[in-house]
Amino acid sequence: MTVNPSGWRPSTPANASAEMPTVTGNRALQLEEPLLFEIGDTETTGVDFDCAPAKAGAQTGSLPSQGYINGLARTAPIGLAGLTEPEAVRHYTRLSRQNYAIDLGLFPLGSCTMKHNPRLNEKVARLPGFADVHPLQPQETVQGALEVINTLAFWLLDLTGMHGVAMSPKAGAHGELCGLLCIRAALEARGDKREVVLVPESAHGTNPATAAFAGYRVENIPANAAGRVDLDALKSRLGPDVAAVMITNPNTCGLFEPDMKAISDAVHAAGGFVYCDGANFNAIVGKVRPGDLGIDAMHINLHKTFSTPHGGGGPGSGPVVVSEALSPFGPLPYSARYADGSFKMVEEEGAAEEHPHAFGRMTAFHGQMGMFTRALAYILSHGADGLKQVAEDAVLNANYILRSLEDVLDAPFAASGPCMHEALFSDRGFSGGLSTIDLAKALIDEGFHPMTMYFPLVVHGAMLVEPTETESRASLDQFIAALRSIAERARAGDESLKGAPYYAPRRRLDETLAARKPVLTYRGPVAASEAPTPNEVGDR
């Protein structure tokens, strides 16, 4: 067996293919966990309460003075299974062990930046005064929190080269909407009623959705053979009806747009604005300032570029940086530092003088304090040079995966030069009717969460892999070895891949049936003749 340079060596147990049934359904420490209704029953309860005394003349559902809301009082048993405390704790603990998480291994979801979340950031977010701050506190009692928001805002301006920033948007798509509303406000201020937003094929799927939600008509711009925006096609479509162009850069093919400045110049010459989807900012932070490329608005996913990570168990945060042309139209509220060193949140009552052209609010309050503290802790612990290395290492890791697998997996844009934060492959060359879904399911047997599949849509059978900067070469080599092995089997037409995964808690589901006919309620035990087949539910 050849040992790779990093020292990681794959091993296969002698009985790996053996199906060894057990009485309990457990497989050593991989514990089979039934539904709550299969553990307990509705006739018992884990905690006993005394029955509430009945009151003379009481009518169920009409006693607001006793805590009921008219018509909403329970009139039938709730039907929940009663469990003891140990049963309940074990149930949810066992389920949690079946989750895959970034703390268990590489999470290669392309375009999602699922990277390690430094525990220092979590500690800072839980400090008293941050964790328990309330948005309705008097401003003089939260000066430290306001300073954190203000300091983070200025870091974001420095890193992007932009003029202003709105901190209140709570996620990426929310930030996109904020940027488009700024653009709409700016156009309306000059009496310009434009109706069209152009979105390249290589943009994130939320871009056209956000533009449509904002009331614009969306038109697509094709990608060229290199996987980038077709500049000539874009220029030919620009006109007096185009309000903006929404571009994802680096794009969803994992490529940087080298014509970004030319695109911005052309859009500006036509009277429009340029929105940049900053979800992939992790690949260029500290290396490229979007403001230097002519960008007018860009959201930044704090929960991707500056840790949490993406989908980290709570709300996200999507501050929007804007150009000087759009700064007057940013939303309320915003944090400001005054000459005496104090901080103030500018609300509606103070906006008439300080921010008269604001289009309004994006949310009730200022944003996510926990996300702000995590992001600032991440930035300060890395410093400017460390953030630059973040981007460099993320790009290095993605290119290492791309070049290590391009001989066994079709890489449609491998000839377009180095990729950025993610490597894009397709299922071209697979035999025997095998496809992306089969490779992804086989990855589960190897202990990896599958990559992003079938996206971007410009590539058939797409597989988008983003390793991020936090993975070591050893973990990348292990992932590459697993993916290479499966890819070689797919090219050879190994039909056993169609049955994967074999070692997961459940076998492959009929995903179409699950989507169209989901079973959302428990109906109790059924006769054997009525039991769903393994293909319907994904049996062991």
Residue 315 lies in a domain: yes
pLDDT exceeding 90 applies to what percent of the chain? 60
Residue 304: which of 272, 270, 279 has the closest Cα?
Answer: 279
Q: Which of 37-41, 110-114, 361-365 has the lowest mean pLDDT?
A: 37-41
Domain presence at residue 7 = no
The average pLDDT across 516-536 equals 58
Q: Going along 114-266, which residue ranges are E strands?
A: 164-166, 196-200, 217-221, 242-248
- Please say whether the beta carbons of 343 and 275 come within 8 A: no
Residue 176 lies in a domain: yes
Burial of 121 from C-beta contacts in 10 A (0-12 / 13-18 / 19+): buried
Averaged pLDDT for residues 4-28: 57
Domain assignment of residue 333, yes or no = yes
Query: pLDDT by residue (tens digit) across 68-122?
Result: 556 677 777 778 888 888 889 999 999 988 888 888 999 999 988 889 889 999 8
Partnered with residue 30 across adjacent β-strands are 27
- Please name every residue paired with 276 in a beta bridge, in sequence order, or none if there are none: 247, 298
2 inside domain:
no
29 or 141, higher pLDDT: 141
Q: What does the block give as tokens for 437?
A: 């879904």
pTM: 0.86
Structural domain contains residue 78? no
At 37, the pLDDT band (50, 70, 90 cuts) reads: confident
Q: What is the pLDDT, as a whole number, of residue 356? A: 84
CB atoms within 10 A of CB 179: 32
Q: Can you give the three-state secondary structure of 420-451, one letter per residue? A: CCCEEEECCCCCCCCCHHHHHHHHHHCCCCCC
Q: What is the mean pLDDT of the chain?
A: 87
The Cα 174–Cα 319 span in angstroms is: 9
Q: How confident is the model at residue 17 (pLDDT cuts 50, 70, 90)?
A: very low
Please state, in angstroms and as integers, the Cα–Cα distance from residue 397 to each residue in 402, 414, 475, following that order.
Answer: 9, 15, 11
Q: What domain count does the chain have?
A: 1
Three-state secondary-structure class, residue 206 = helix
Write the CATH number for 277.
Answer: 3.40.640.10
At residue 65, does pLDDT exceed 60? no
Token output for 454: 């079938």
Q: Among 8-17, 308-317, 345-354, 372-381, which is the least confidently predicted range?
A: 8-17
pLDDT for 527 beyond 70: no
β-strand 217-221 against 273-277: which pairing, if any?
unpaired
Angle 177-181-184 from CA coordinates, rounded to 5°: 140
Question: Which residues are 345's β-sheet partners?
Answer: 335
* Residue 57 half-sphere exposure toward CB, CA atoms < 13 A: 0
Range of the domain at 140: 121-376
Q: Give the C-alpha separation, 519 to 515, whole Å.
A: 10
**Domain assignment present for 81:** no
| Among 15-24, 36-45, 325-334, the range of highest mean pLDDT | 325-334
Question: Which amino acid type is present at position 246?
Answer: M
- Count of positions (residues) in the chain: 540
Closest C-alpha among 230, 291, 288, 279 to residue 254: 279
Q: What was the pLDDT predicted at 54?
A: 59
Q: What is the pLDDT of residues 423-470, one digit of tens each?
A: 999 999 999 999 999 999 999 999 999 999 999 988 999 999 999 999
Q: For residue range 466-520, what is the model confidence (pLDDT) as tens digits? A: 999 999 999 999 999 999 999 999 999 999 999 999 988 888 888 888 889 887 7
Q: Is the peptide bond before 258 cis (omega within 30 degrees of 0)?
A: no
The number of angstroms, rounded, from the C-alpha of 509 to the middle of its chain's C-alpha atoms is 24
Q: What is the CA radius of gyration of the chain?
A: 27
Please spell the DSSP secondary structure of 16-40, one letter per residue.
TT-----SSS-BTTB-----HHHHS
Least trusted range by pLDDT, from 4-8, 52-56, 230-234, 274-278 = 4-8
Q: Provide the 3-class DSSP secondary structure of residue 381.
A: helix
Position 191 in a domain:
yes
